[in-house]
Chain A
Amino acid sequence: MNLKRLLIGVGLGVSLSGSAYATEGTRTEYTARDEISAEEDLRVSKRRSRAEAMVGAQYFWIQGKALPGMTLRAGKDWYWLDLEAGFIWSTEPSSEVDKSFLGNQFGAFAVAAPLRTRHVELRAGLGADAYWLWQIHSEKAELALAAKVAVHGWVTPRIGVFASARAHLLSTEGLELGTNRNGTQGSPVLLTTGVEWKF
């Protein structure tokens, strides 16, 4: 038994499958299955502590608009940076603007991930949501300070699905999340769903 195996057995095997091994005097014994499990956990642990990056595609569920986009997130352990870019179409006709394509959405969020397991991640963060309506005017942009939460599920080690919800804490005058064109109120929480791929 070499030192590495002993460390794996004591360090990780004890904490994760402590009841599965037995101590007999100064000699530690464990089954082959526990050894594999401990080594795998060590690999997962090492992988978790490395910086990671994911690219994805997402869709914003907005009434009267279509907003598909791309996502890029990178980080390590608790600390993540999320970037988003999308295209905005109005799907309801307007008598005021005779264009359906309006411009682009951009987002940048600082995100914390308090829960990260092999299959699920739960994340929450704060950032900026920007809507550049360059089809209306080249300088027209609406901005918001946004809070978002997201849950990610890994279908395979590299392919995952996610859903996020965001609310605008502050926004410029021309951006009304939760308000219809006619002024009636709706949900102030904007949902997105998407798929992502881990590099």
Chain B
Amino acid sequence: MKTKLLLGLVLCSHVGCAPMTFSNEPVINFEQYRSVKVSVDAPETREVPNTSTYARRYLRDQLQLSSGFSSVTIEPSQNTDVTIVVDVSTFPRLEGDQLQYDARATFATITSRGVVLDEGIIEDDGYNATESIEDVLDEIALRYTKPYRL
């Protein structure tokens, strides 16, 4: 019985089971650009005092969790291979009788020599301004997810 089961599993692994790969292609070369400095400018929100500092730390934490950079800092004086510069703006809007916030982030990843490696605009929304800011920063961090083939 055990032999049959084992045989079944072996057959499955070679015949019946389909391979399925999750992959992520990096937008920049993390072998070449290993360290990053984060600079975020965000409008003040009611929920979080000193929102720009909060947003900078938030993006740093997200990049440390999942990005391909081996070192992430928010220290302006620190020398790094690249800097991610983010400018966020938020816009309140009424959806029915519910107040929603749209956030728009313009970002650029620039080398220490001033070469722009990557840039773009990301928009998202949330129930409050801070949530909408976090959402656009999440998407920027997602863009720099470490490369993998799983």
A residues in contact (CB < 8 Å) with B: 61-65, 90, 94, 96-97, 102, 131, 133, 136-140, 142, 173-181, 184, 186-191
Contact = CB atoms under 8 A, between A and B. Distances in A.
B61 to A, nearest CB: 12
B44 interface: no
A147 to B, nearest CB: 14
Interface residues of B, number: 25
Contacts of A131: 22
B18 A63 contact: yes
A94 B16 contact: no
A194 to B, nearest CB: 15
8 contacts: A61-B16, A62-B19, A94-B149, A137-B141, A139-B139, A175-B22, A186-B19, A187-B18
Decide if the interface of chain A is mainly helix, strand, loop or mixed: loop
A181 to B, nearest CB: 5
B142 A64 contact: no
B20 A190 contact: yes
Nearest to B148: A96
Contacts of B25: 173-174
A186 B16 CA distance: 10
A189 B142 CA distance: 29
Nearest to B23: A174
A106 to B, nearest CB: 15
B21 interface: yes
